[in-house]
């Protein structure tokens, strides 16, 4: 199939309306100190952002709702926002999940599967922890490739396919159900990477472009904001 026709098949539904931001977080830590990384989010920062959105009247929706909205034009609640996390950090399980449970906020966690359970650096969640969250239903587990390459655009076709299909297969084998979504590591992608995601069986893939999701180019280039830009994300959606 010619690439132009293929990309057209990825297009957002014609009746999509509104402006809906998606945020992406990474690790959750108990307290911020001199060793903290820029993408770390302390428990107090996470609580502050969730409460800020609630005061603004936000409705937290799932990525499945976002997908059905973008792909089929299904409406979302007013002032919708979706939350994602990346990298499968254990800090998310220890410090983030209790807050999300208390606040009843659904999220998607994107995992690079070759490092599940790895304890080097920032420890990663184990398969028992991921399965527990998956069964509970508040956290959807999806793919962020096998090894989190710094830039998918630099990989050969075979390596790219291995990263995407391998991760999807391992997740589905362990969780026992289809895994529909992929996040590009570091948000880096191009048309070849997007085509590989589609060919690997994903329904949609997510970047780190700073626009509301309805302004994304297509279903395999859906935009997200890094969590430190949460106020910008709200403003860009035309909200106060």
pLDDT digits (tens, 9 = 90+) for 28-48: 998 877 777 677 899 999 999
User: What mean pLDDT, rounded, does the chain reach?
Assistant: 94
* Residue 18 pLDDT > 60: yes
Provide the number of structural domains found in the chain: 1
- Structural domain containing residue 81: 3-236
What percentage of the chain carries pLDDT values higher than 70? 96
Q: What is the mean pLDDT of the segment spanning 3-27? A: 85
Residue 184, pLDDT score: 98
What sign has the CA pseudo-torsion 157, 162, 167, 170? positive
- The per-residue DSSP string of 96-136 comes to IHHHHHHHT--EEEEE-GGGTT--SSSPBPPHHHHHHHHHH
In the three-class reduction of DSSP (H, G, I as helix; E, B as strand; rest coil), residue 48 is classed as helix
* Residue 104 pLDDT > 70: yes
pTM for this prediction: 0.94
* CB burial readout 125-160, b (16+ within 10 A) else e: bbeebbeebbeeeebbbbbbbbbbbeebeebeeeeb
| CATH code of the domain in which 20 resides | 3.20.20.370
Instruction: Tell me the β-bridge partners of 23.
Output: 83, 225
What percentage of the chain carries pLDDT values higher than 90? 90
- pLDDT category, 240, cuts 50, 70, 90? confident
Residue 3, pLDDT score: 52
Cβ(177)–Cβ(140) below 8 Å: no
């Amino acid at each position: 199939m010619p690439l132009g026709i293929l990309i057209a098949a990825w297009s957002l539904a014609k009746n999509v309306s509104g402006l809906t931001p998606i945020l992406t977080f990474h690790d959750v830590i108990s307290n911020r100190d001199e060793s903290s990384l820029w993408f770390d989010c302390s428990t107090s920062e996470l609580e502050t952002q969730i409460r800020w959105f609630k005061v603004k009247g936000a409705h937290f929706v799932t990525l499945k709702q976002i997908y059905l909205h973008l792909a089929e034009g299904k409406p979302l609640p007013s002032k919708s926002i979706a939350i994602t996390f990346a990298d499968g950090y254990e800090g998310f399980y220890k410090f983030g999940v209790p807050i999300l449970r208390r606040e009843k906020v659904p999220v998607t966690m994107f995992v690079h599967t070759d490092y599940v359970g790895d304890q080097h650096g920032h420890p990663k969640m184990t398969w028992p922890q991921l399965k527990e969250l998956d069964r509970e239903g508040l956290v959807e587990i999806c793919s962020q490739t096998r090894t989190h390459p710094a830039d998918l655009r630099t990989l050969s076709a075979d390596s790219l396919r291995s990263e995407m299909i391998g991760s999807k297969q391992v997740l589905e084998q362990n969780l026992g159900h289809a895994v529909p979504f992929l996040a590009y590591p570091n948000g880096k992608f191009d048309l070849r990477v997007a085509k590989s995601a589609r060919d690997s069986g994903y329904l949609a893939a997510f970047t780190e472009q700073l626009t509301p999701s309805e302004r994304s180019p297509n279903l395999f280039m859906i935009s997200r904001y890094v969590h430190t830009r949460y106020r910008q994300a709200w403003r860009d959606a035309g909200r106060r």
